[in-house]
Amino acid sequence: MSAVASGTGQGWDEVADVVVVGYGAAGSAAAITAHDRGASALLLEKQDPAAHTPSIRMSGGIVLCMNDAEAGARYLDACAGGLVPEAVSRAWAARAARLRGWLDEVAPQLGLAHVAGPERPQFPGADAVEGYQAGARFRHDPESGMGRALFAALASAVEKRDLPVRWHTAARRLVVEDGRVVGVEVEQSGGPAKIRARKGVVLTCGGYEFDDRMKAEFLPAHPIYFYGNPGNTGDGVRMAQDVGADLWHMNRVVGRAIAWFPLDDGRPQGFMVQMDPPGYVLTDRYGHRFANEHGQAQLLHDFYHHLTVFDSDRGEHPRMPCYWFFDDRRRRAGPLTWTQMGAVGVGMYDWSPDNRAEIDRGWIHGGDTVENAAAAAGIADPVAAARTVADYNAGCATGVDAFGRPFESLVPLEEPPFWCVPLWPGGSNTTGGPRRDERGRVVDVYGEPIPGLYAAGELGQVSGMLYPGDGTNLSEALCFGQIAVETALDEG
Ligand SMILES: Cc1cc2nc3c(=O)[nH]c(=O)nc-3n(C[C@H](O)[C@H](O)[C@H](O)COP(=O)(O)OP(=O)(O)OC[C@H]3O[C@@H](n4cnc5c(N)ncnc54)[C@H](O)[C@@H]3O)c2cc1C
């Protein structure tokens, strides 16, 4: 392996075969692949090691794999809904069919367990989908489970290979010479620097979940919030645009209803909400139910479509926020969010076991009646909200729900005090960014690859209309992290 060199005498501060921008899911796969193919790689990460919260660390750590590349390609193509060329879905499925083996080799300590399947079992090829997660040893350990286990294992593979990571190094601009991307301008604690890439730059710096302007311009409603890494601020989108990249999927997110609260430092952060155990109702701002909430409770990945509806007569989004009602049984049953994932999982916030601290913070609004809880939360028509919950309770008694909720989810809200939390459309991540081809090459607005530039992960993710299943994001990041680097080394 040719080592990373410092300084070249031509204005460059460091040089490597492959420069990987962003040390998360896709970045670690890219750097490991470069090393294992005999090349040097340099990982640039804008966060500090002590506060490094790539979304992979905050995640559930489920990785979608395929047991059959052909069938898997058919399934991914069906989920893409025409938004992704078939060749791209095919390349992903082929790599996903080898992903389990790759993970077993690179991170054997995970002891992966089969935990999930396809989200659209009715689609062709769905039987090929298998979601894996770190085994029971990790899952039942509140200190190290889920995405933290997965990232720790990948980080350990990075360390074992002596791959250099430049912390606190934010990539700002790509450097182009003679039409080819040859390096990156970065901002480090010591000031600006220039890093040369002999074979290619791979952008793996996440989506634009925390860039308000980009979200307002591109997403289908505003505001939409996220519960992943606050460091994912669309830097890769800007850098790619700057060198002529085409963009795709800019209006798409992996989404559902989420909570959005200010942390101690005043910075707001998204939280996944755990509606189960059952005993939940969602209403709009006027206290009316609008959808079957079961998919949201089951953590499916499309409930946000219900929330972004625009009422042109009123000139507003009547479900932004929407309001989650539950009774004191749910409050006592445990935290309203997952403590092994998201902001709590990485120590940004410590959620109380009985939700008392969050009530005291004013995040959860209460009342001795549903009407009073609704009024406390700021619902425009608290009387309508009380009527809505009473109607839902009546449906629970007959076993028939007006929105078709399954019988086992029909648990009435009847034990005071009652509670209400505003929720927003949002989710784990955006999927838009630079368009890429089946070899991970970023393409320009004419469909031509931009020499020297590659991307992987949620920055321009190759998924389309529907989320194929638990583990899709990480699968894409790990597969295309490998694919992009292999292409860079073949071509560079
Ligand atoms: C709570 C939660 C649960 C989830 N559960 C799952 C799950 O179970 N399965 C699944 O598939 N997906 C899940 N996801 C989504 C998944 O974690 C992400 O989509 C995935 O991690 C994306 O990988 P990535 O490499 O593109 O980005 P990340 O893993 O976020 O890594 C991006 C890195 O780039 C860095 N960076 C950003 N800008 C720059 C810059 N200018 N210069 C240098 N570095 C930069 C960031 O700080 C970060 O470290 C979940 C997400 C969350 C938040």
Closest CA to ligand 1's atom 12: 473
Answer yes or no: is the C-beta of 339 below 6 A from any ligand 1 atom: no
Looking at the structure, do residues 423 and 440 belong to the same domain, yes or no?
Answer: no
Looking at the structure, do residues 243 and 358 belong to the same domain, yes or no?
Answer: no
Assigned token pair, 356: 């008392």
Looking at the structure, do residues 167 and 313 belong to the same domain, yes or no?
Answer: no
Looking at the structure, do residues 227 and 325 belong to the same domain, yes or no?
Answer: no
Q: How far apart are CA 424 and CA 322, in angstroms?
A: 6
Q: What is the pLDDT of residue 388?
A: 98
Residue 312: give its domain's CATH number: 3.90.700.10
Last residue of a domain, one of 427, 462, 484: 427
281-307 pLDDT, tens digit per residue, is: 999 999 999 999 999 999 999 899 999
Looking at the structure, do residues 407 and 268 belong to the same domain, yes or no?
Answer: yes
Looking at the structure, do residues 218 and 245 belong to the same domain, yes or no?
Answer: yes
Q: What is the pLDDT of residue 114?
A: 95
Last residue of a domain, one of 384, 404, 427: 427
- The residue to mutate among 204, 205, 338, having the most atoms of ligand 1 within 8 angstroms of its beta carbon, is 205
Looking at the structure, do residues 38 and 183 belong to the same domain, yes or no?
Answer: yes
Answer yes or no: is the C-beta of 44 below 6 A from any ligand 1 atom: yes
Looking at the structure, do residues 316 and 194 belong to the same domain, yes or no?
Answer: no
Sheet with 129-133: strands ordered across: 63-66, 129-133, 113-116
Last residue of a domain, one of 403, 427, 451: 427
Looking at the structure, do residues 341 and 416 belong to the same domain, yes or no?
Answer: yes
Q: What is the pLDDT of residue 3?
A: 58
Pairing of strands 441-443, 449-455: antiparallel
Looking at the structure, do residues 107 and 213 belong to the same domain, yes or no?
Answer: yes
Assigned token pair, 486: 């292999």
From residue 28, alpha-carbon distances to 50, 304, 321 in Å are: 18, 30, 36
Neighbours of 119 (CB within 10 A): 23
Q: How far apart are CA 462 and CA 475, in angstroms?
A: 11
Answer yes or no: is the C-beta of 131 below 6 A from any ligand 1 atom: no
Looking at the structure, do residues 2 and 113 belong to the same domain, yes or no?
Answer: yes
Q: Count structural domains, the chain.
A: 2
Closest CA to ligand 1's atom 27: 206
Question: Domain residues for 88?
Answer: 1-252+431-492
Answer yes or no: is the C-beta of 153 below 6 A from any ligand 1 atom: no
Q: What is the pLDDT of residue 8?
A: 58
Q: What is the pLDDT of residue 9?
A: 59
From residue 39, alpha-carbon distances to 176, 271, 453 in Å are: 22, 39, 17
Closest CA to ligand 1's atom 11: 471
- Looking up tokens 């321009």 gives 460
Looking at the structure, do residues 406 and 447 belong to the same domain, yes or no?
Answer: no
Residue ranges, the chain, pLDDT below 50: 1-2
